Amino acid sequence: MARFILRRGSLALLTLFGVSVLTFFMFFAVPTSPAELQCGRDCRPAQVQNIERQLGLDQPLWTQYGQYMKGIVVGRTIGQGDTAIKCEAPCLGWSFRSSEAVSSIVGRALPVTISIVLGGAAMWALLGVSLGFISALRRGTWIDRSAIGFSLAGASLQIYFVGLLLQVLFVYTLKWLPTPTYTSPFESFGDWIVGMILPWTTLAFLNSAIYARLTRAQMLETLSEDFVRTARAKGLPSRQVYLRHALRAGITPIVTIFGLDLGVSLGGAVITENVFGMPGVGFTAAEAARQLNLPVVMATVLLAAFFIVLTNVIVDWLYAYIDPRVRLG
């Protein structure tokens, strides 16, 4: 186990380092001046130079990168004189657009994304696996065809279409639901659920297709295997045969895909968040990219990379739990 953690941890750090270098230097390839953007429309060259000094943009690139990474580990001071800012570790930088620490921005956006993605993922996994499971057991029947047809419809549509359609129907026309809005579950659990219903439903409808197809295929394959026949021959009830033996054996690739989907989505469900006007990590990242707000772009990209790396590690660990034949090492 220790070896597993050490190996995967080192690999994760290496990946994050690579992503940070790429993002940082790619940003400076853009032919624009963040200081000019920060300074606004009626700005004199002296003011631009002052902002460049404050942002540290007058330093060599490697120095800027080194200061950025140092800030993550031990914190740093940004700017000079009375207006200098002490940015505590882990300092992800300072947004001069909104005059606040990037960690505050990310800290505010992350719960929104986590709420959307965890709820949506639970729904799409449950819906997809259930549909696939039922389809496999009722292969060739109208239930099978309906379930797969439903999930395929979801896979064929786009989130900006379904999301808007559901809003027009349930919010603007029928007025059954309020505008999708994020409320902290610790503030009001009921409002949190109600505000999230549409994003969750949309994500579940669109993303469950692949899980349904995969579960169906895996179930059909494992149901024909010898160990399932043996379990049946031993007189185990059908429920135990399907759930404890067939599904457990067939679910490994589904867990892999789920882990990747979860990691990617936690890094920012850009379209979902924009369609529903929810300022999560994806919404924030898109806005920061548009505004060329480097510190926020860096932080959101690193966060996305972190989640992908993290979910991969968890998936690897889950393999061993689900399938006793797999050992960590």
Partner 1 sequence: MLSVGILAVALAAAGCSKNTGEDTNSGETTKAETQTATLAENSDGPAPEVSGAKKGGTVTLYTSGDFEHLDPQQNYVVPSQTTGSNLLYRTLTQYRENGDGKLEVVGDLATNTGEESNGGKTWKYTLKDGLKYEDGSAITAQDVAYGIARSFSPDLPNGPHYIQQWLAGSADYNAKYKGPYNGGAKVPPNVQVPDAKTIIFNFPEAHADTPFAMALPTASPVPPARDTKIQYDNRPFSSGPYKIQTYNRTQKMVLVRNENWDPKTDPIRHDYPDQYVVDFTRTAEQASELLISDAGAAQTALTFQDMTIPASVYPKAVAQAKDRILTGPTQYVWQINFNTQRVTDLKLRQALNYAIDRQGLLKVWGSYAGEPGSTLLSPTTSGYEKYNAYDGGPTGNIEKAKELLGNKTVKLTYAYRNTERNQAIAAFLRSSLKPAGVDLTIQPVDEDQYYTVIGKKNNQFDMYMYGWGSDWPGAGTVIPPLWDGKRITPEGNNNTAYLNDPKTNEEIVRILGLSDLTEADKAWGALDKDIMTRLAPTIPVIYDKQTTLYGSKIGGIYLSKPYGNSGLNNLYVK
Using CB under 8 A as the binding rule, whether residue 283 contacts partner 1 is answered as: yes
- In the complex, what is the shortest distance from the CB of residue 251 to partner 1, in angstroms, rounded to a whole number? 37
Q: Which is nearer to partner 1, 48 or 118 (CB)?
A: 48
**66 is written with which tokens?**
């080194």
Q: Which is nearer to partner 1, 32 or 238 (CB)?
A: 32
Round to whole Å and give the CA distance between 313 and 9: 9
- In the complex, what is the shortest distance from the CB of residue 266 to partner 1, in angstroms, rounded to a whole number? 19
**292 is written with which tokens?**
């060329």
Give Cα separations from 4 to 258, 305, 309, 315, 322 (angstroms). 21, 20, 14, 13, 17
Using CB under 8 A as the binding rule, whether residue 159 contacts partner 1 is answered as: no
Give Cα separations from 125 to 91, 187, 202, 211 (angstroms). 35, 27, 13, 7
**121 is written with which tokens?**
């993922």
Q: Which is nearer to partner 1, 78 or 228 (CB)?
A: 78
Round to whole Å and give the CA distance between 180 and 147: 28
The DSSP letter of residue 225 is S
Give Cα separations from 241 to 115, 253, 311 (angstroms). 35, 19, 29
Q: Which is nearer to partner 1, 98 or 158 (CB)?
A: 98
* Member of 123, 162, 196, 278 binding partner 1 (CB under 8 A): 278
Using CB under 8 A as the binding rule, whether residue 51 contacts partner 1 is answered as: yes
- In the complex, what is the shortest distance from the CB of residue 195 to partner 1, in angstroms, rounded to a whole number? 12
Round to whole Å and give the CA distance between 105 and 92: 10
Using CB under 8 A as the binding rule, whether residue 77 contacts partner 1 is answered as: no
Contact string 4-33 vs partner 1 (x = CB under 8 A): ----------------------------xx
- In the complex, what is the shortest distance from the CB of residue 247 to partner 1, in angstroms, rounded to a whole number? 40
Using CB under 8 A as the binding rule, whether residue 54 contacts partner 1 is answered as: yes
3-state DSSP assignment of residue 130: helix
Using CB under 8 A as the binding rule, whether residue 279 contacts partner 1 is answered as: yes
Contact 255, 322 (CB under 8 A): yes
Residue 85 β-bridge partners: 78
Q: Which is nearer to partner 1, 108 or 248 (CB)?
A: 108
Options 66-74, 187-195, 199-207, 282-290: segment touching partner 1 (CB under 8 A):
282-290
Q: Is the dihedral of CA 134, 136, 142, 148 positive or negative?
A: positive
- In the complex, what is the shortest distance from the CB of residue 22 to partner 1, in angstroms, rounded to a whole number? 22
Using CB under 8 A as the binding rule, whether residue 111 contacts partner 1 is answered as: no
Please choose, from the candidates 151, 266, 251, the residue with its C-alpha nearest in 3D space to the C-alpha of residue 210: 151
Options 8-16, 91-99, 200-208, 310-318: segment touching partner 1 (CB under 8 A):
91-99
Please choose, from the candidates 259, 262, 289, 263, the residue with its C-alpha nearest in 3D space to the C-alpha of residue 274: 289
Please give the residue ranges that form the binding site for partner 1 (CB under 8 A): 32-33, 36-37, 39-48, 50-51, 54, 79, 81-83, 85, 96, 98-100, 105, 108, 167-168, 171-173, 175, 178-179, 274, 277-279, 283-284, 287, 290-292
